[in-house]
Every structure is written in C-alpha cells, then in structure tokens.
A and B are shown apart, each in its own frame.
Chain A
Amino acid sequence: DAKTTQPTSMDCAEGRAANLPCNHSTISGNEYVYWYRQIHSQGPQYIIHGLKNNETNEMASLIITEDRKSSTLILPHATLRDTAVYYCIVPHNAGNMLTFGGGTRLMVKP
C-alpha cells in the first residue's frame, strides 16, 4: 500500500466543518484513496473513496489534489458523534486488503 501521513489528532467545534488532511505522495495512477473511521470499540466504518475527482456522499466530501499526492476529508457540520479515529488508506489494489496506519483522532467539542 502507498504510505499515508496524517496528523495524530485534531479538534473541531461542534457544528463547524472538520477538515482532515492526508498526504500520499507515493500514490500510483490507478490507486484509490479510501477513508474509514473507527468509533471507540467498534469496527471501522466506510466513509468515502475516490480516484481523481472530488467525491461527495451523505457522510462527507473528499477533495483530492490535482497531482493526487494529498487529499482532504471534509465533514461539513461535525457533531459529537463524529468523534472517532479517521483512517486514510491507499491500497495497492482496489480489491486488496487494507493496511491501517495510525489515523487522525478527531475530537468534536461542544
């Protein structure tokens, strides 16, 4: 898997947008960027994934830079329930297993 770098932790005020960055400078042309999150004592939850274009779904938006070396996950209106560890993953093959790094621990505060 391409190596990813994320900040260890971030804070966000409730109701504000949470912007979580990820660097993946060694990404290859066909490799997707996946985002998952893990709430304490639960299995990881799929959020979103993308290849080149920006993506949006009911949970979040994914902004991928033009050179694809970095991306940002955006939670438009963070709630207390969004407090979790967020993982940015670039698997070698789209259907391959996922290797988890340290992720970013997002704390949403009232």
Chain B
Amino acid sequence: GAVVSQHPSWVICKSGTSVKIECRSLDFQATTMFWYRQFPKQSLMLMATSNEGSKATYEQGVEKDKFLINHASLTLSTLTVTSAHPEDSSFYICSARDQTEKLFFGSGTQLSVL
C-alpha cells in the first residue's frame, strides 16, 4: 500500500518552545492530509484537515494559532506545536488519502513537553 512517512518518531522539548512535525506521502500525491492526536488509552481525535495551497480546517476546540499547519506541496504537510506546554504532550499522527481513496497513516510522533 501507499506509504506515509512521519518525522520525528519522538521528541522531547522544554515548555515554551516550538516543535515541528513533518508528514510526507512518499509514493503518491495528497491534496488533503489529516492530523490526529491521541492521548494514552484513548482513541484518535481529529485535529485538523490540511489542504494543499490553502488554509487548514480545524476541528472545534483546536487552537489554530497554537497548532500551525502548512501544506505547501502535494507531498508534505507540517504541524508546528507553538509554545508547547506539558498538556500538549501526546501522540500525534498524520494521514493522507491516496488515489484509491484509502487513508494511510504515518507512524506517529510521541511529543513529551517537560
């Protein structure tokens, strides 16, 4: 199946700093990518929909100024957690839809904010 690469796999940062997570579709073009967040023992929660060449669409309750999304090309979307705080510690997962309309997921990024 299609491959979605997410980097980094894990990151530890100090409170107040910003962290960028990259999501790449390796063998297909993705006009739309999705960003999810998952807390321990909970299901995935959709944060935002990333659209190539336009602004992202955020789910209710997700701060767009805190979670900056950039989808500058058909193969790359980035999520930047700005001024991170310990409560932002979570597992972040991106996904992208290939030409067969199936959704493929990255391997996830475990963010720990100290």
B1-45 vs A, Cβ < 8 Å mask (1 yes, 0 no): 100101000000000000000000000000000101000000111
The smallest beta-carbon distance between A3 and chain B, in angstroms, is: 14
The reply to whether B43 and A43 form a contact with Cβ atoms under 8 Å apart is no
A102 to B110, Cβ gap below 8 A? no
Given contacts A41-B110, A43-B93, A46-B104, contact A97 B43 (CB under 8 A): no
- Number of residues of chain B lying within 8 A (CB) of chain A: 23
Q: Given A46-B102, A46-B104, are A100 and B44 neighbors across the interface (CB < 8 Å)?
A: yes
Contact with B along A20-51 (1 / 0, CB 8 A): 00000000000000101010011111100100
Asked whether A95 lies within 8 Å of B91 as measured between CB atoms, the reply is no
Q: Evaluate whether A99 and B46 lie within 8 angstroms (CB atoms) in the complex, with A41-B91, A46-B1 already known.
A: yes
Known: A43-B93, A43-B105, A43-B107. Contact between A97 and B34, CB under 8 A? yes
In the bound assembly, the distance between CA atoms of A95 and B51 in angstroms comes to 14
B102 cross-chain contacts in A, Cβ below 8 A:
46, 49
Provide the bound-state CA to CA distance between A34 and B107, in Å.
19
Answer yes or no: A94 CB below 8 A from chain B CBs: yes
Closest 3 CB pairs of A and B: A43-B105, A100-B44, A100-B43
